[in-house]
Amino acid sequence: MKIYDTVKRLSSEKNISVYRLEKDLGLANGAISKWNRQIPNALRLQEVADYLGVTSSYILNESRKDGNK
């Protein structure tokens, strides 16, 4: 699983679209989807984690789980 996929899953569990998440945090439309191809800025990742009520470490650890199989 990639970082974007983890963020998308967590958002979905809270009934929040990724679009809404980006808009609420002042991110460009599609900014989070790029996180499947590049590592996000630590501050941005922390903002997203805070918004979703998890830690940035949780997002990173979840995104690594399927990649190690």
Under 8 Å between Cβ of 52 and 66: no
Residue 33 has pLDDT above 70, yes or no: yes
Radius of gyration in angstroms for the set of CA atoms belonging to the chain, rounded to a whole number? 11
Domains present along the chain, CATH in parentheses:
3-68 (1.10.260.40)
Query: Which positions ≥6 away from 9 have C-beta within 8 Å?
Result: 1, 62
Helix (H) or strand (E) holding 46: helix 42-52
- Please state the rounded mean pLDDT for residues 31-58: 95
Residue 13 has pLDDT above 80, yes or no: yes
pTM of the model: 0.88
Residue 67 has pLDDT above 90, yes or no: no
